[in-house]
Every structure is written in structure tokens, then in C-alpha cells.
């Protein structure tokens, strides 16, 4: 009797949802088949409760394989799942005509499924259901009696269906509520500010011009070491080139609005700026280059989504979890592969955003002690990065960074400071020792320390024999010291390097006349 099977089916489905914490995945339009799932740590159980009647063993097998393929194509499984078991419970009037015992211990033909079980509830219903409960590791027994009166049976069956629908609607409302806790106003505001500042950068000298970036507040370790820590905030609103801006603003549009909907407006902006600060501090500690961009804050938003996943793993993996984790891993790998990417800021912001999410917590969550611990962890994290950055001499005395600073100081005619910076940077020089010694010699010439300047230039041309400027200044110093043989040799070297430069030819002719 079909209505009797419907009653058993809905009784079982309702028990799985209410007592065993299964979630309804799908239900067929005629309510003939339900699909439910449950994740327990890294183990996933998927249960199919069907009223479909099959006459032959092969029809059951074909149905099982097709359903398993369809389910795996349409759901997101936990990324690090340990095992996946599929349970097909058929509540039918009779068993297939041919033998079906081989289905009880079958191996699934579908990849990723570790165990696949088939249960045919026909004659020995109670025994089969007990077997299913054992294989599915269900803890609460299901006991019920089937009404004898047909009208009562129909009424109770309909009541069970309505209860299932109500639970499903409540679950859907609860999930929707998680993603509608704030309208994404601040995301759009931050996006607009970034675009406006980018246009201003382009107007005032170009977004790829280092001088313009420094002037507008890019992360510049030299200035920060001198007290300009506000650059950690201002650099979050600067972008280097249109591609950099477009990529970050696209991420802010999609990820920022999502995080703002989940956490609400105030929590979102706190996470954004705390992550940006952490990312900026990590960049200061690990990256000597001039840097700018919202990447640290944006990776912090990924950290906020990961924190959401930690607190709501079922919803997370049911909706976006695998995609979020994949994007984060892909970006980190990309960052390590491309030297120009500030991977320190990315990872620093990701961690900072995760911790910041623990500080603000999800809406309607009260955990004062956890929040306090998160505040302490964040403070230690940021100041730990600061302490490491201040003592990381390989970064703070990076030769490229210091040469940029030296060029500025020479323009300002601060020659004594130039000599001090070169002297402190030379022990860490790897490729630009010749350039550093050239600049120190240049400063010492103006300071009239000619012997030191001559020594630096001699060392510079040893490291870089094609260093024309160093040879030229060295020739002039030899000429001034009346060392005409050495001066002439230096001038001849200049002409070997570049015989089209008129000043080199003039110097050579002067030295030849002086020698004669």
C-alpha cells in the first residue's frame, strides 16, 4: 500500500532531521524521494530515502550510480573530508525479481565515495532499518506504529510532510539571515574612495611614480622608521597602476559586500582596518620596497570568511567554503611565484582579519573571554611584526631602498647623512656595492674628503668595470691630485667604454696636454 510506504518514508526523514541532525539536500517534486546529509568532523553521510520501485537488480544499480554522480556534481563537500558514505534506503512493496544481495556490500563506481550501501525495506522492514541505523552510526532508535485507519494514516502522513517542510523552511531562513545582517554601504564607500584617490594620483604625477606614491602616503620603510607610521593606513587607499586598482576593487565588490552582509557594517569596517594594519605591518617587516594597495585588508576579509566557516562549518561548506579556501591557497601560491607581489602583506592581512573577526565576533554572539583573548593575540601579533621589522636589518638596510633614500638626500645636499647611510648599508649590500660607494664618494667630494672618495671610486670600478660615472669622477680626482698617469688611464678606460661622449674626449685631451 503506497500511502503506508509514504508514512514510513516521512517518519524516517523527520527522525533523521530532528534527532540525528541531518539536513535536507533535495526533495523530488512529487515527494517520492528525499536526499539528506550530515557532516560529523571530517566524515560525511548522505542518505537517500526513496519510494521508487524497481523490478530488476540492474535497475537498482543504475539508479544508485546515477544519483551518486548527480549529488557529487551539485554539492560542495568539506575540503579535507576523511570519508564519504552513501546510504540508499528504498521503501518498496516488493524486492527485485532477481537476486539483489550483491547490492548490500557493493563497491561504488563513483570516485570520492568510500562506502555505498543499499537497503530494501519490503518484507523485513524493521530488520532492514536496524541494519541501516547501524551502518549509518545513528544513535537514536526509531519506533512507531502505523495507523490501521486509512484516513488517519493519510492525515498523519500529510502532517509529517508539513513538519519536514517547516523544518526545511526554517533552516533556509536561518541561512539567509546569516547573509543579511547588514547592507553593504561601507564596501561601496571604500571602493569609491579608492577610485577617487587613484584618479588624483594619476592627475598629480602618476600612480606608478614612486615619488608621487611616497608623497600621497605609500608604505615607505625609511619614512616609517623616522616616525611616519600613519602610512600603514594611507597606503591602503593607494594603488599602483590601473590593473592593480581593478583587481582589488573587483575583490572588494564581491568579497567586501559579502563580509559586510555577514558581519554587519561596524564589524566589517573594524575587520577591514585591523586586517589592513596587520598587512601593512607585515609588509614593513618583510618587504623593503615601496608598497601600496588594499590587498592586506582584502585578504583580511578572506580571513573573516574563514572565521565564519570555523563557526558555521555546515553552512560554509554548503555555500562557498571550498571556493574560498581554493582562492586563498591559489593567491598565496601566486604571491610566492611572482616577486613583485607583496606576499607578506597578503598573509599578514589574512591572519589579521581572522584574529579581528574573533575580536568583533559574529552578530548575536556573546563570548567576552574569547574576544578578550583575540584582542591580546592581535596586539601581540602586530607589535611582534613591528619588533621584527625594526630589527630585520636585511629589510631596513636593503640596498635598493637605501639608494632611493640617498638620491633624495643628495638632491637636498645632505652629504654627511649620505655618508652615514652608505656606511651602515654596505655590510648588507649584495649587488649594488659599486653604486653605494659611488654615492658616498660623491658626498665626500662635496665634503672635501678626497682620499676617502678616491678609495671608494677605486673599489667601485673594481666591482663594476663599466661604471662610466665612477671612472669619470675618479679621473677628475686623479687630475686634481696631479696623478696624471692614473688620470690618463681612467680617461682611456672611459673612451673604451664610450668614445662618443664629448666630455670624455675633452678630459682625455686635457690630460694629454698636461702630461706633455
Count of alpha carbons within 13 angstroms of residue 210, beta-carbon side: 10
Over the stretch 153-206, which tens digit does the pLDDT of each residue have? 889 989 999 999 998 898 888 888 888 888 889 999 999 999 999 999 999 888
Domain 206-395 has what CATH class?
mainly alpha
Please tell me the CATH superfamily of domain 400-515, with its number.
Tetratricopeptide repeat domain (1.25.40.10)
> How far is 418 from 397, CA to CA, in rounded Å?
13
- 473 touches 441 (CB < 8 A): yes
> How far is 215 from 111, CA to CA, in rounded Å?
57
**What is the per-residue pLDDT for 54?**
85
Q: Which residues contact 313 (CB under 8 A, 6 or more apart)?
A: 39, 78, 321
**Residues with active-site annotation:** 295, 346
pLDDT band at 81 (very low <50, low <70, confident <90, very high): low
Short-list 371, 253, 383, 247, CA closest to 307: 371
pLDDT band at 80 (very low <50, low <70, confident <90, very high): low
C-alpha pair distances (Å), 371 with each of 261, 309, 313, 348, 368: 21, 17, 20, 20, 5
**What is the per-residue pLDDT for 370?**
92
For all residues of the chain together, what is the average pLDDT?
Answer: 86
For the chain, percent of residues with pLDDT exceeding 90: 30
Lowest model confidence (mean pLDDT) among 124-128, 263-267, 293-297, 458-462: 124-128
**What is the per-residue pLDDT for 323?**
75
> Phi and psi (nearest 5°) for 151?
-65, -40
Query: What number is the average pLDDT over the span 274-293?
Result: 92
pLDDT band at 100 (very low <50, low <70, confident <90, very high): low
Determine the angle formed by the axes of helices 265-286 and 295-311, rounding to 10 degrees.
120
> How far is 171 from 321, CA to CA, in rounded Å?
18
Secondary element (H or E) of residue 472: helix 468-480
Segments making up each domain of the chain, as ranges? 2-178, 206-395, 400-515
pLDDT band at 430 (very low <50, low <70, confident <90, very high): confident
Distance of CA 395 to the CA centre of its chain: 24
**What is the per-residue pLDDT for 298?**
93
**What is the per-residue pLDDT for 103?**
67
Query: What number is the average pLDDT over the span 469-473?
Result: 87
pLDDT band at 43 (very low <50, low <70, confident <90, very high): confident
- Entry pTM: 0.78
pLDDT band at 42 (very low <50, low <70, confident <90, very high): confident
Q: Which residue has the cell 680617461?
A: 491
Over the stretch 6-34, which tens digit does the pLDDT of each residue have? 999 999 999 999 888 898 888 887 888 99
**What is the per-residue pLDDT for 105?**
66
- The helix/strand/coil state of 305 is helix
Task: Dump strand ranges (E) for 2-141.
Answer: 23-27, 33-40, 43-50, 83-91, 115-121
Amino acid at each position: 500500500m503506497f500511502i503506508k510506504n509514504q508514512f514510513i518514508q516521512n517518519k524516517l526523514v523527520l527522525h533523521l532531521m530532528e534527532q540525528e541532525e541531518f539536513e535536507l539536500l533535495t526533495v523530488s517534486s512529487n515527494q517520492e524521494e528525499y536526499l539528506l546529509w550530515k557532516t560529523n568532523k571530517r566524515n560525511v553521510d548522505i542518505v537517500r530515502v526513496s519510494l521508487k520501485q524497481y523490478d530488476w537488480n540492474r535497475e537498482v544499480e543504475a539508479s544508485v550510480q546515477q544519483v551518486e554522480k548527480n549529488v557529487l556534481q551539485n554539492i560542495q563537500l568539506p575540503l579535507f573530508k576523511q570519508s564519504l558514505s552513501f546510504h540508499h534506503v528504498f521503501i518498496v512493496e516488493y524486492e527485485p525479481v532477481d537476486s539483489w544481495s550483491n547490492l548490500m556490500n557493493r563497491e561504488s563506481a563513483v570516485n570520492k565515495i568510500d562506502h555505498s550501501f543499499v537497503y530494501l525495506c519490503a518484507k523485513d522492514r524493521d530488520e532492514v532499518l536496524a541494519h541501516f541505523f547501524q551502518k549509518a552510526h545513528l544513535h537514536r532508535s526509531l519506533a512507531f506504529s502505523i495507523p490501521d485507519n486509512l484516513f488517519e494514516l493519510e492525515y498523519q502522513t500529510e502532517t509529517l510532510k508539513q513538519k519536514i517542510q517547516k523544518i526545511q523552511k526554517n533552516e533556509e531562513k536561518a541561512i539567509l539571515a546569516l547573509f543579511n545582517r547588514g547592507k553593504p554601504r561601507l564596501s561601496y564607500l571604500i571602493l569609491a574612495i579608492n577610485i577617487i584617490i587613484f584618479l588624483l594620483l594619476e592627475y598629480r604625477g602618476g600612480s606608478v611614480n614612486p615619488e608621487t606614491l611616497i608623497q600621497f602616503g605609500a608604505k615607505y620603510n625609511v619614512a616609517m622608521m623616522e616616525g611616519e607610521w600613519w602610512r600603514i593606513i594611507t597606503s591602503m587607499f593607494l594603488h599602483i597602476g590601473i590593473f592593480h586598482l581593478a583587481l582589488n576593487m573587483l575583490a572588494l565588490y564581491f568579497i567586501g559586500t559579502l563580509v559586510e552582509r555577514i558581519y554587519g557594517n561596524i564589524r566589517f569596517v573594524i575587520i577591514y582596518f585591523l586586517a589592513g594594519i596587520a598587512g601593512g605591518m607585515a609588509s614593513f617587516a618583510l618587504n623593503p620596497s615601496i608598497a601600496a594597495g588594499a590587498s592586506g585588508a582584502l585578504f583580511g576579509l578572506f580571513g573573516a570568511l574563514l572565521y565564519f566557516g570555523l563557526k558555521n562549518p555546515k553552512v560554509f561548506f554548503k555555500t562557498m567554503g571550498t571556493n574560498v579556501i581554493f582562492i586563498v591557497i591559489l593567491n598565496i601560491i601566486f604571491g610566492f611565484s611572482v616577486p613583485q607581489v607583496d606576499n607578506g602583506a597578503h598573509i599578514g592581512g589574512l591572519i589579521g582579519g581572522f584574529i579581528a573577526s574573533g575580536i568583533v565576533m559574529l552578530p548575536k554572539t556573546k563570548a567576552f573571554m574569547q574576544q578578550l583573548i583575540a584582542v591580546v593575540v592581535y596586539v601581540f601579533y602586530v607589535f611582534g611584526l613591528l619588533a621584527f621589522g625594526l630589527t630585520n636589518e636585511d629589510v631596513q638596510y636593503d640596498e635598493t631602498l637605501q639608494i632611493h633614500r640617498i638620491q633624495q638626500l643628495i638632491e637636498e645636499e645632505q652629504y654627511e647623512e649620505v655618508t652615514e647611510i652608505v656606511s651602515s648599508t654596505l655590510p648588507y649590500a649584495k649587488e649594488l656595492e659599486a653604486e653605494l660607494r659611488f654615492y658616498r664618494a660623491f658626498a665626500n667630494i662635496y665634503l672635501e674628503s678626497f682620499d676617502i672618495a678616491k678609495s671608494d671610486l677605486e673599489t667601485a670600478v673594481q666591482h663594476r668595470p663599466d661604471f662610466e660615472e665612477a671612472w669619470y669622477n675618479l679621473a677628475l680626482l686623479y687630475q686634481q691630485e696631479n696623478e696624471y698617469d692614473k688620470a690618463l688611464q681612467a680617461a682611456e678606460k672611459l673612451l673604451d667604454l664610450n668614445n662618443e661622449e664629448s666630455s670624455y674626449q675633452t678630459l682625455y685631451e686635457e690630460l694629454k696636454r698636461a702630461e706633455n
